[in-house]
Structure 1
Amino acid sequence: MANISVLICCANAADTLRDACASVAWADELIIVDSGSSDDTEAIAREFADVYVQEPWRGYGEQKIFGATLARNDWVYILDHDEEVDPALAQAMLDLTEQELARYDVLHARRKNYIYGRHARGWDPDWQTRLIHRERATWNDDVLHDTCLPASPERKRKLPGAILHKRTSSAGFEDYFSGRRLDARLLMVAQQMHDRGKRCSTLDLALRPPFTIFKQLILKGAILDGAFGIMVAQKTAVTTQLKYAALWAIQNKVATPADQ
């Protein structure tokens, strides 16, 4: 069995942190990096963590890079505070040997997303890069969905089991709409898309939102979830529309809230 450290970066995570920590009790080490909590996060973290530190927010990727330097093992599993490792994924990682891991830099796991306690199948399979070799993997520079890249394509593999995202969260209907937080996140993503040469066309605005609904309801089977599946598909379509609208505004130099 390989020695694996688990890293959780969080802030004001008392709602879900206990379940996240309990799901990785099998780990050789648990590190929690708290970027400034005002709830019971610290008390819960100190109950479970081998290493607990408070560190000002550095950004999505930079915070994790910092946390990984605190680990005593080179293999680090990145877990968000509102996620859990299901038993199948935990066992798959426990079964890994040092000889197997020598062939890889990163390992991926499927994430199952939950809203109001229900699995949103329209968002499957949502593969996440979580088990990384901190010396061999390379972090990308995505502003939001940071991930690690292997030195070469063959040095990665997928693991069975799943990450359970927000399964036990008490977030209510207001979190579904997101509001100002969603706007800020989409503006960051749109700006990065623009910086990388992506542009928004009329067809993007006309076709991407309805195709998103079709993809989730029909191709991924979310229609089987009834009103819940339709609601999730519509939310995703709205998010897609807002992202490309923000990109259109940036490329046409239209003032956005970030500019004001």
Structure 2
Amino acid sequence: MKRRPLSCFLIVRNEADRIEACLEGLAGWVDQLIILDSGSTDETAQLCRKYTDEVYITDWPGYGPQRNRALAKCHHEWVLNLDADENMTPSLRQEIDQVLSEPDLEANILRLPWQTYLFGKPLNHGRYSTPQGKLFLNKNGAQFKNSQVHEVLQIADPKVRTLTQPLKHFSWRTYQHLQEKHLKYACILAAEKHAKGKTGSLSYASLRFMTDFLQQYILRGGFLDGKAGFFMALVLGQYAFHKYAALAALQMQTDTEQGLSK
């Protein structure tokens, strides 16, 4: 049986330094390649047009809404959702071809093993080694959660199958980029929690630093990745701290403003 047709989309902004490494593994393999560029100020859009005619310049409504915009442009039932910092390998392409050629394929989500690199070192344990549901059947109203960050794929009656070949993931360019990215996500999540009426405190933020560090380093085996694993556990502890410290800061600001208005 011939492989089922495959659409692929990416949402991007200012990825000129690494977008081609991603697209080179996709162009000529997927049957449709869609790029949504939310206003790059570098050459990202121009580089993308070397690999596909379907490059769209958009505003930025948030991660969930942007992925749903891209999903709406997909012509084929099977959809691959990648980011500019993720690279396909020949072995992963071959495995996907084999699975999507199975006549009696029952799965509607294919999880791809995630091989994340931290400053050149692979993280084989912990949060950033969890397989990702990047390839799915776009039927019966599949959508991404309409959130600003950590947008989860929502699909009816999920039937999950995990592949064996890894998807290469190069999330952070530098230490500064790593910290800026995690702080940005933490503040977005804090704002979402605050809007829902949730509160935070510095004591809880400090507790979450410890619990998230220990979960990553001990319970999820980060210590097995050596120095890189210790580094990542500290970063994830910081991420948890920033999320709830930002929530506490928003609450303090709200309390002050309400006090002044009385």
TM-score using structure 1 length = 0.82
Q: 2:138 aligns with which of 123, 134, 141?
A: 134
What corresponds to 2:253 in structure 1? 255
Paired with 1:100 and 1:67, the residues of 2 have a C-alpha distance of 28
**Identical columns (%):** 29
Contact 1:144 1:185 (8 Å CA) reproduced: yes
1:232 aligns with 2:232: yes
Alpha-carbon offset, residue 19 of structure 1 = 0.8
Matched residue SS, 2:135:
strand
Query: Displacement of 1:128 after TM fit?
Result: 2.2
TM-score after normalising by structure 2:
0.81
Q: Given residue 22 of structure 2, which amino acid in structure 1 is its aligned partner?
A: A
Task: Show the counterpart of 1:111.
Answer: 114
Which of 4, 7, 31 matches 1:2?
A: 4
1:199-210 pair list within 5 angstroms? 200=200, 204-210=204-210
CA gap of 1:32–1:100, structure 2 versus 1, over 3 A, is: farther
How do residues 63-212 of structure 1 correspond to structure 2 at under 5 angstroms? 63-95=66-98, 96-97=100-101, 99-101=103-105, 103-121=106-124, 122-136=126-140, 137-153=142-158, 155-166=159-170, 171-178=173-180, 182-194=182-194, 200=200, 204-212=204-212
Q: Which residue of 1 aligns with 2:260?
A: none
- 1:64 is matched by which residue type in structure 2? R
Give how far 1:64 is off: 1.8
The whole-number CA distance in structure 1 between the counterparts of 2:37 and 2:150 is 19
Q: CA deviation at 1:151?
A: 0.7
CA contact (8 A) 1:129 1:147 kept: no
RMSD, aligned α-carbons? 2.8
Unaligned runs of 5+ residues in structure 2 are 258-262
Give the match for residue 24 of structure 1: 26
Deviations 1:41-92 (A, max 9, x none): 1232111124222222232122222222222212110110111123343222
Task: Tell me the residue number matched to 1:213.
Answer: 213
Q: Give the counterpart letter for 2:253 in structure 1.
A: A
Conserved? CA contact 2:112–2:133, under 8 Å: yes
Q: Displacement, 1:99?
A: 4.2
The amino acid that maps onto 1:219 is: L
Alpha-carbon distance change, 44 to 135 in structure 1, aligned in 2, over 3 angstroms:
same
Cα offset, 1:120, TM superposition: 2.8
Letter in 1 for 2:72: T
Deviation per CA, 1:81-131: give whole Å up to 9, x if none.
111123343222211137445x34433223222222222344343332221
Secondary structure at the aligned position of 1:243 is classed as helix
Give yes or no for contact 2:112–2:134 (8 Å, CA) kept in 1: yes
After superposition, the Cα gap between the structure-2 partners of 1:199 and 1:68, relative to the gap in structure 1 and judged at 3 Å, is: same
Shift in Å, 1:246 = 2.5
In structure 1, list runs of 5 or more residues that go unmatched: none
C-alpha spacing 1:229/1:135, structure 2 compared with 1 (3 Å): same
* Shift, 1:230, TM fit: 2.0
Q: Deviations over 1:171-191 (max 9, x none)?
A: 22321321xx54442122123
Report the secondary structure of 1:15's partner residue.
coil
Question: Would you say the 8 A contact 1:88–1:160 is kept in 2?
Answer: no
